[in-house]
Structure 1
Amino acid sequence: QSDLLAHLNVWAVKARPEVPDGPVALAMDRGLDWLARSGLDTHAAVDVPPVFGPGDGNLANYLWDGSSVRVVDFEDSGRSDRAFELAEITEHVGSWVEHPLDALSFLRHFDLTAAESVRLERCRRLLALVWLFLLYFDSHSEDTRNPVGTVERQADRLLRLLA
């Protein structure tokens, strides 16, 4: 999480001044305002138990055989918590851009503590903001990997999470 916060600070300085007024700029501004008040930079997730997590919510990193899920990519793995890992899955662009995951239905399968539920909401907002910047940079590269309008859709997703 601390790496994401550091990246966001750099990205905000780099990208935000060049984003024209509109939904993407509004989402960036509201997301950065929320982040400044969130306490994520100073509060560790002390009330949630640590787990070993894959750290990459791309659904292609999980194999489902009809009864069990297997993780197949450990490149970003390490100490984490269930709330962060669930946020990784629900907010990863691969979970909604082409074949949308019903995040609310998916999350109902997990019996989270009150502290984990609060952390899940914060982590979803954080990761939605991270994806907004990543998609913004991708949309301005010559070899963009996402469909036209993806960054605007992500701005809308972030604004809904912040509401």
Structure 2
Amino acid sequence: MASTHAVEVGATTVVKRFRRWDQDEHRREWRALALLAEHAPGLAPTPVRADLDADPPSVTMARLDGTPLAGRLTGVQVDGLAEAVAAVQTAIPEPVLRGLPSRLLHPLVALRRLRGQCARRPPPGEDPVVARAFDEVTGWVARPRLDEVFAAELTPVFGLGDGNLANYLWDGDRVRVVDFEYSGRSDRAYELAEVVEHISVWVDDGLDASALLSRFELTSAETARLRECRRLLALFWFLSVLSEDPRHPRNPPGTAVRQAGRLLALLGA
């Protein structure tokens, strides 16, 4: 996936210039920074200024200490990640949260988009695991009950909307969060699936999904939704990897086969 923005890092500030903003990505970013600065100071960069009507628009924020999470996470880092994810989700008071727009790529929107992609794409390549995953997921994604599952309104949380591990900065003591261009009202199951199924999380076997998820107490409805959300987002990444230009791959060799295996495991769970 192409980068949605350019970043200029200064001594004390970071300027984020948006390459795409047709879904108000720049306003989502600024709104999230302002809300978190008010309700959870220190969790995310402090907003400094914004030029939201420029072409391209930009947001300037205070620079945070820390380095992006990467590689195999330690138990302390998993704890820090869980604390940061939970803090983002619960920071915004419910009356404010209910007035926010839904995060980008709502699960129902994702389902309909992925159905279209499955319907018009033949199984690419000759690897049998990839072909089998494509066949099985085509049947799963067509199930009518999924519309009801993903249209259901669970208890809302504030969603980052992006599970990329690079969005979580570790300073040796705690994890803080950056990049809010997809943010908005969401639900806990979808946001947790966003984290544990993001390709950056497992491509280096950096995170044990069960270890992170065990830090959260989910309702039975959230547990059931999480299972389907994980399948949905694993499919999203499966199709994303398959659509890469083979002349300019973004992921290591064998990623498509590994993602196919991961998707098959989730479908069989």
Determine the C-alpha separation between the residues in 2 that align with 1:100 and 1:145.
18
Determine the C-alpha separation between the residues in 1 that align with 2:136 and 2:223.
22
Aligned residues: 161
Match of 1:114 among 201, 206, 220: 220
Give yes or no for the alignment of 1:58 onto 2:164.
yes
Deviations 1:37-89 (A, max 9, x none): 2622234223x211110111101112244554322011111121110011011
Determine the C-alpha separation between the residues in 1 that align with 2:207 and 2:117.
27
Does the aligned pair in 1 maintain the 2:169–2:177 contact within 8 Å? yes
Does the aligned pair in 1 maintain the 2:160–2:184 contact within 8 Å? yes
Counterpart position of 1:83: 189
| Equivalent residues in 2 for 1:1-163, closer than 5 Å | 1-20=107-126, 22-37=128-143, 39-43=145-149, 44-46=151-153, 48-65=154-171, 68-138=174-244, 140-163=245-268
User: CA, structure 1 residues 113+65, in 2 after alignment: closer, same or farther (shift >3 Å)?
Assistant: farther
Gapped runs of 5+ residues in structure 1?
none
Does the aligned pair in 2 maintain the 1:50–1:82 contact within 8 Å? yes
TM-score, normalised via structure 2 length: 0.56
Shift of 1:6: 2.8
Q: Which letter does structure 1 place at the counterpart of 2:146?
A: L
Gapped runs of 5+ residues in structure 2?
1-106
Does the aligned pair in 1 maintain the 2:124–2:131 contact within 8 Å? no
Counting helix residues as a fraction of each chain, which structure ranks higher? 1
Counting strand residues as a fraction of each chain, which structure ranks higher? 2
Shift of 1:98: 1.5
Shift of 1:25: 1.6
Q: Which letter does structure 2 place at the counterpart of 1:70?
A: R
TM-score, normalised via structure 1 length: 0.89
Does the aligned pair in 1 maintain the 2:201–2:207 contact within 8 Å? yes
Does the aligned pair in 2 maintain the 1:16–1:25 contact within 8 Å? no
Q: Which letter does structure 1 place at the counterpart of 2:210?
A: L
Deviations 1:94-147 (A, max 9, x none): 001124310011100001111101011010011111111001112x43211101
Shift of 1:19: 4.6
Q: Which letter does structure 2 place at the counterpart of 1:137?
A: S
CA RMSD of aligned residues (A): 1.9
Shift of 1:22: 1.3
Determine what percentage of the aligned residue pairs are the same residue.
53
Which has the greater radius of gyration?
2
